[in-house]
Amino acid sequence: MQELHDEKTGKAKKERTPMPEQPADVRRMNFNEVTLGYRKEDALTEASRCLSCKDPKCVEGCPVNVDIPGFIKLVCEEDFAGAIEKIKGTNALPAICGRVCPQETQCEALCVLGKKGQPVAIGRLERFCADYEHQKGVKVPEIPEPTGKTVAVVGSGPAGLTAAADLAKLGHKVTIFESLHKAGGVLSYGIPEFRLPKEIVRQEVEYIKQLGVEFRPNYIIGRIKTLDELCDEFDAVFLGTGAGLPSFMGIPGENFNGVYSANEFLTRVNLMKAYDPLYETRVRRGNHVVVVGGGNVAMDSARSALRLGADEVSIVYRRGEDEMPARREEIEHAKEEGIIFRLLTNPVRILGDEKFNVTAVECVKMELGEPDKSGRRSPVPVDGSEFTIPADVVVIAIGTSPNPIIFKGSEGLEQNNRGTVVADEETGATSKCGVFAGGDVVTGAATVISAMGAGKKAAKAIDEYLKEK
Amino acid sequence: MGKTTKQLAKLSEGESLEDFVGPLGTPADIRKLGTVILVGGGVGVAPIYPQAKAYTKAGNRVISIIGARNKDLLILEDEMGKASTELYIATDDGSKGHHGFVTDIMKRILDSGEKVSRVVIIGPPIMMKVGAGVAFPYDVEILVSLNSIMVDGTGMCGGCRVTVDGKTKFTCVDGPEFDARKVDFVELMNRLAMYRGEETKAVEKYEEECRCGLH
């Protein structure tokens, strides 16, 4: 293999260009974005590391198959406008993906450079290009002649936005129905400002509106209108309703005041801006906050609680750190900020006072047993190891499942026993004619980019379905 | 009555809210049952009114009982009279109708021996709790309509969880109507009090701003 050398320093370019970020002791006090983004020189240095492989593996790792070497080559040539155009050829939400995609398990995991050193920081370069475009003003692509076909998209999260954008670019008239007052789904209510600024989400949604997509906020399918009614009114329907129903643990004391689902906690903070005194919605500011769970949502909840002014925030997770489903980067960021990790620990009871306020979480120590169906070693309680953690706010972040409201008035829409919609993996086609689905509503809670990938595949299938119809 | 209610009350005809969503929840199960007693307390009379119309339309004998602290706070009296077969009124201070609680009248009717199929009670949680307690021993279905604190109203936040028959339910999608005999009212009232301190402060601030002519 050819030896890589930086042209200026002569040093082997094994290491990626670091991402500028707010220092941990500063950012733990504010809701501003943690990472600051590459400057132009950072982007050029990093882009120059790309080998422009003839058979690029990274593209295979991307659920929406962005032409990664293609856009990085344009970055090298300082044609940033060309680079973002290349990305947007397949990805309608690059500013979001560049921030929240788990690149380390997708495109970057397959980068050839990763075998001997660090892979190209593809996500950071994608974000750089998207942010560059937002600064310069977003170019709206030409919209083809209308086909006369109409598509209803239910849900304006990553799956719905992606499907809507692709369908609009093909000339179909798309209407998105969103239950909340703001578009974006989990991008708006779930992922915190410090990880994904809401202004970014607003700009990306604005771009999709400019493609001619119509938004109908405050519109709950399953209540205000049923899926059956949508099928009558539109030529096709895409369901991207996500996994919005919070799971609770089912342990005593879970209804004490101060115990939140992560959905409620994060919605109050992100969507309703409870951290900002100018907004009306409140959230309880805890001094001792316990977050239950080990995923990205648990990290987001813990770090939000810290920024609201908690003295101590701990994450309680029943398995070990290696088993945590959260992104490594999020775990590291949380640790840097001073979040306490109480691993191999499981809550068994929540304690409260006479005024019904939570006071503590009783936990039991766990040890890892044999691997379970998911391949992770399953935790087993250690007898007699009970102890309590004082807490005035507890956030339950153990997962979500699809909101069953969509099944009301949806004759023939098959669901499986986990409450998810049964859909073809390649096309998103469901058991109901003309109805396609993708994202968390099909897979259960997963990532933004996998939802976008599903939205993309479904858009292609819907287009073919409409041509044949 | 919180700050937002006060803001809503200040709206004039023709003004609008930026966002509104609904209807939400599980629709009330209204059909012909025979005799139905509808009990509305305070602003709870407002949601009882469409039920009175619907139960009457479904062919029921509708006995409505509405109440308030005093006659000036009593709402929809004429409308309820028209929508019901019989209408009784109670005020805490005796300024109109029965001097006492709506539940006193309900008990009297249940004691009269008339076969009543269902009682629906809507009002402040304490009134629903007391009402459910009074009707408990009788052979009658008792429904209450709960008003838990919610964020989205679609089942997403779980803030409105209430214990019914020992199980956690979401008022927004599983409710708002539940079998009163199975509702944990103590938990409900405690959960409703969660933001009371903040709400009081918000009201005080808002009223102060109103006095200064800011709204």
Q: What is the pLDDT of residues B13-40, one digit of tens each?
A: 999 999 999 999 999 999 999 999 999 9
Tell me the two tokens of residue A227: 């899926």
Question: What's the pLDDT score for residue A140?
Answer: 75
Question: What's the pLDDT score for residue B214?
Answer: 78
Mean pLDDT of A53-59: 92
Among B116, B160, B161, smallest CA distance to B134 is for B116
Interface of chain B toward chain A, CB-CB under 8 angstroms: 3-4, 18-24, 151-152, 154-159, 161, 163, 168, 173, 187, 190-191, 193-195, 198, 202
Question: What's the pLDDT score for residue A14?
Answer: 74
- Residue B158 and residue A246: Cβ atoms within 8 Å? yes
| Residue B198 covered by a domain | yes
Residue listed under structure tokens 């001097």: B99
| Residue B183 covered by a domain | yes
Query: Which residues in chain B are contacts of A220 at CB distance < 8 A?
Result: 21, 24, 154
Nearest chain B alpha carbon to A264: B157
Q: Mutating which of B5, B157, B191 best tests the A interface, going by the most A Cβ atoms within 10 A? A: B157
Question: What's the pLDDT score for residue A242?
Answer: 94
| Residue B21 covered by a domain | no
| Residue B11 covered by a domain | no
CA separation (Å) from A333 to A106, A309, A386, A406?
20, 17, 29, 36
Model ipTM value:
0.93
Chain B contact for A86, CB < 8 A? no
Q: How far is the alpha carbon of B32 from chain A, nearest alpha carbon, in Å?
A: 24
Report long-range pairs for B92-101 (Cβ below 8 Å, ≥24 apart): B92/B67, B92/B68, B93/B69, B95/B70, B95/B71, B96/B70, B96/B71, B97/B67, B101/B67, B101/B127, B101/B130
Nearest chain B alpha carbon to A185: B156
* Interface contacts (A, B; CB < 8 Å): 85
**Mean predicted lDDT score pLDDT of chain A:** 92
Nearest chain A alpha carbon to B26: A223
Nearest CB among A224, A254, A403 relative to B156 is that of A403
Start-to-end CA distance of chain B, whole Å, equals 18
Output DSSP code: residue A429: B
Output DSSP code: residue A73: H
Nearest chain A alpha carbon to B23: A224
Query: Which residues in chain B are contacts of A258 at CB distance < 8 A?
Result: 194
Question: What's the pLDDT score for residue A138?
Answer: 75
Mean pLDDT of B170-185: 96
Name residues 273-312 of chain A within 8 A of B (Cβ): 280-282, 284
d(CA A317, CA A397): 10
Q: What percent of chain B has pLDDT over 90?
A: 93
Local confidence band at A1 (pLDDT 50, 70, 90 cut-offs): very low
- Residue B190 and residue A217: Cβ atoms within 8 Å? no
Among B141, B147, B121, B170, smallest CA distance to B31 is for B141
Mean pLDDT of B56-85: 96
Tell me the two tokens of residue A147: 């086909």
- Residue A255 and residue B161: Cβ atoms within 8 Å? yes
Query: Which residues in chain A are contacts of B146 at CB distance < 8 A?
Result: none
Tell me the two tokens of residue A190: 């779930």
The neighbouring-strand residues paired with B87 are B64
How many angstroms from the chain centroid is the CA of residue B55? 16
**Is the four-CA dihedral A423, A424, A429, A430 of positive or negative sign?**
negative
Query: Which residues in chain B are contacts of A254 at CB distance < 8 A?
Result: 168
Q: How far is the alpha carbon of B104 from chain A, nearest alpha carbon, in Å?
A: 30
Q: How far is the alpha carbon of A244 from chain B, nearest alpha carbon, in Å?
A: 5
Chain B contact for A179, CB < 8 A? yes
Mean pLDDT of A287-315: 97
Residue length, chain A? 469
Neighbours of B6 (CB within 10 A): 15
pLDDT at position A332 over 70? yes
d(CA A183, CA A216): 9
Letter for the amino acid at A195? R
CA separation (Å) from B2 to A125, A396, B207?
49, 28, 11
Q: Mutating which of B21, B146, B162 best tests the A interface, going by the most A Cβ atoms within 10 A? A: B21
| Residue B74 covered by a domain | yes
- Residue A244 and residue B195: Cβ atoms within 8 Å? no
Tell me the two tokens of residue B18: 């930026």
- Residue A257 and residue B194: Cβ atoms within 8 Å? yes
Question: What's the pLDDT score for residue A13?
Answer: 67
Provide the domain count of chain B. Answer: 1
Residue listed under structure tokens 């959960």: B191
- Residue B159 and residue A284: Cβ atoms within 8 Å? no
pLDDT at position A5 over 80? no
| Residue B19 covered by a domain | no
d(CA A468, CA B11): 52
Most confident residue range from A110-119, A142-151, B41-50: B41-50
CATH number of the CATH domain containing B184: 3.40.50.80
Tell me the two tokens of residue A24: 């941990």
Letter for the amino acid at A271? L
| Residue B23 covered by a domain | no
Contacts of residue A319, defined as CB under 8 A and 6 or more positions apart, other chains included, come to A294, A343, A344, A366, A368, A376, A377, A379
Mean pLDDT of B64-93: 95
Contacts of residue A341, defined as CB under 8 A and 6 or more positions apart, other chains included, come to A314, A315, A317, A321, A334, A335
Chain B contact for A24, CB < 8 A? no
Q: Is A135 exposed, middle or buried (0-12, 13-18, 19+ CB in 10 A)?
A: exposed
pLDDT at position A77 over 50? yes
pLDDT per residue over A261-291, tens digit each?
999 999 999 999 999 988 888 999 999 999 9
| Residue B20 covered by a domain | no
Question: What's the pLDDT score for residue A333?
Answer: 94
pLDDT per residue over B122-174, tens digit each?
999 999 999 999 999 999 999 999 999 999 999 999 999 999 999 999 999 99
Range of the domain at B176: 30-213
Among A88, A74, A77, A183, smallest CA distance to A139 is for A88
- Residue A181 and residue B157: Cβ atoms within 8 Å? no
d(CA A331, CA A326): 7
Q: Which stretches of A171-304 are assigned E, i.e. beta strand?
A: 173-177, 214-216, 236-239, 245-246, 259-261, 288-292
Nearest chain A alpha carbon to B152: A180
Question: What's the pLDDT score for residue A277?
Answer: 86
- Residue A217 and residue B23: Cβ atoms within 8 Å? no
Question: What's the pLDDT score for residue A291?
Answer: 98
**Is the four-CA dihedral B202, A184, A186, B17 of positive or negative sign?**
positive
pLDDT per residue over A132-175, tens digit each?
998 888 777 788 899 999 999 999 999 999 999 999 999 999 99
Q: How far is the alpha carbon of A419 from chain B, nearest alpha carbon, in Å?
A: 14
d(CA B196, CA B125): 15
Local confidence band at A374 (pLDDT 50, 70, 90 cut-offs): confident
- Residue B193 and residue A405: Cβ atoms within 8 Å? no
User: Rounded to the nearest 5 degrees, what angle is found at the Cα of B210, between the Cα atoms of B206 and B215?
Assistant: 95
Q: Mutating which of A182, A226, A285, A405 best tests the B interface, going by the most B Cβ atoms within 10 A? A: A405
- Residue A246 and residue B156: Cβ atoms within 8 Å? yes
